[in-house]
Chain A
Amino acid sequence: MNLRLHIWRQKEPGAQGMLKAYDVADVSEHMSFLEMLDVLNERLLENGEDPVAFEHDCREGICGTCGMVINGRPHGPEPKTTVCQLHMRSFHDGDSITIEPWRASAFPVVKDLVVDRSAFDRIVQKGGYISVNTGNAPDGNAIPVPKVNADLAMDAASCIGCGACVAACPNASAMLFTAAKIGHLHALPQGHAEKGARVYNMVLAMDDEGFGACTNHLECEAACPKGISSLFIAKLNTEFVITSLL
């Protein structure tokens, strides 16, 4: 298939960027979206042009490194799919595709489609550390965890920190990310020791990074490649208000 891409090109942080059009011919429907960009980049390199910068690592949908907004949707049109797992069969011959970086002032553009997501790392750092020296790895079932809680923790822990929630949110809020991190630890007994401090510090860190506030549009939930539920945001709201007022 033949495609026309409109890709955000920006030389460096703070520079004026713009959408630039590229035609890509003979794209196989079996290619992943990133492979399609690889093909474009090879051609750009052959012509002595600057290739399109984008991030990727595992290319199997588990690391959270990749991410770009495709026709207004983070990670593109398929639900619960990272862009590395998105395939060209989701598009049609002659399609025009607009590709933009995550947009949020807390995620400044580094170059083209690459944004700086270290704000997420700083939020996670505020989540605290395990203050007890636990020695060797404990016996698997030494601490009983009810199945419901284990499942809940696993659901939240499936967050790969890609930032699609922020990119999708009209307010660039990081609530789904923060709520998933908090929700995952709080569903387990090991996470209870520092529960109050964790919610408090992570929410404040999230605000300090300049993310927006949640207005319950729930775009994040729709965009999340792991389908993380807004349930965790509701839980975070309650936990934050209760712990900070007590």
Chain B
Amino acid sequence: MRRLIEVWRSTVFQKWVMAITGVMLGGFLLAHLAGNLLIFVGADDMNAYAVELRELLHGSAIWVMRAVLVISLVLHVRAGIVLAQRNRTASGGRYAVTSYQRSTLASRSMLLTGLLILSYVLYHLAHFTFGAIHTEYYHYIDSMGRHDVYRMVVESFRQPVITILYVVAVIVTGFHLQHAIASAFQTLGINHPRYSPSIKMGGTLLSILIVIGFISVPMAIIFGLVQ
């Protein structure tokens, strides 16, 4: 038991927890993106998908997914804050002159981008999942009597404030991912002189694609491609 506690508290294990939970969150992000892109398929498909998601396995699937996500997020954020505090103490009083060679703005601002993502996620859930804010868009019902997710999204993104916040949050997430993807490979023990440069490139490319994918939704709405 003492050994388990020691392992759990170690920097290497906490970092590993960050990577595993980060990958879970990343997987969710991709699934979420796929769901969002249904807006280009049509209102019917999107609303049907929303219903299916809530009714999968008699409505239990969504709760399992939610539980996994909440646990991942809590562990990820906790480890992020604990490790960042530790690192601040460890490096205490740094140099008068700095000259970074390999680290990037993204790698050095992981806690900041992470906390920004967290604040946005809370706001985003309050808006689209709980309907606690921007309530005027939450109660649409489509012709088949379903929650009209499609219309909620379209009407919401016609509000500049909502769109601007969303776009900023997506870019911040892209920034987080740019370091995170390659970093997770390293943490999980995958490092090879031949493949590591491609992993790094692939991580950046995937981050950019994710950003473009998410932003395409409000852009299509603003420019009237999606009505």
A171-B87, A240-B12 known; A103-B102 Cβ under 8 A: no
Residue of B nearest to A234 (CB): B191
User: Which A positions have Cβ atoms within 8 angstroms of B?
Assistant: 6, 19, 69, 71-73, 98, 100, 103-106, 168-173, 203-204, 206-207, 210-219, 221-223, 229-231, 233-238, 240-241, 244-245
Chain A nearest Cβ from B23, distance in angstroms: 14
With a cutoff of 8 Å between Cβ atoms, the chain B residues found around residue A206 in the complex are: 11
The answer to whether the Cβ of B97 comes within 8 Å of any Cβ in the partner chain is yes
Give how many B residues have a beta carbon under 8 Å from the other chain's beta carbons.
Answer: 43
The answer to whether the Cβ of B166 comes within 8 Å of any Cβ in the partner chain is no
A to B CB contacts below 8 Å, 5 in the list = A72-B98, A72-B100, A212-B89, A216-B186, A237-B189
With a cutoff of 8 Å between Cβ atoms, the chain A residues found around residue B94 in the complex are: 103, 170
With a cutoff of 8 Å between Cβ atoms, the chain B residues found around residue A173 in the complex are: 11, 87, 90
Chain A nearest Cβ from B94, distance in angstroms: 5
The reply to whether B13 and A241 contact each other, CB–CB distance below 8 Å, is yes
Partner of B102, one of A104, A221, A235, A244: A221
Closest 9 pairs (CB-CB, A-B):
A72-B99, A238-B189, A212-B90, A217-B103, A234-B191, A171-B87, A213-B11, A212-B87, A222-B101
Binds A, one of B2-10, B28-36, B136-144: B2-10
User: Which B positions have Cβ atoms within 8 angstroms of A?
Assistant: 3, 6-7, 9-16, 83, 86-87, 89-103, 107-108, 110, 179, 182-183, 186-193
Chain B nearest Cβ from A93, distance in angstroms: 20
Bound-state CA distance A172–B186 (Å) is 18
Bound-state CA distance A32–B9 (Å) is 44
The reply to whether B90 and A234 contact each other, CB–CB distance below 8 Å, is no
The reply to whether A170 and B108 contact each other, CB–CB distance below 8 Å, is yes
The reply to whether A72 and B97 contact each other, CB–CB distance below 8 Å, is yes
The reply to whether A100 and B97 contact each other, CB–CB distance below 8 Å, is yes
Bound-state CA distance A214–B42 (Å) is 45
With a cutoff of 8 Å between Cβ atoms, the chain B residues found around residue A244 in the complex are: 3, 7, 10, 13
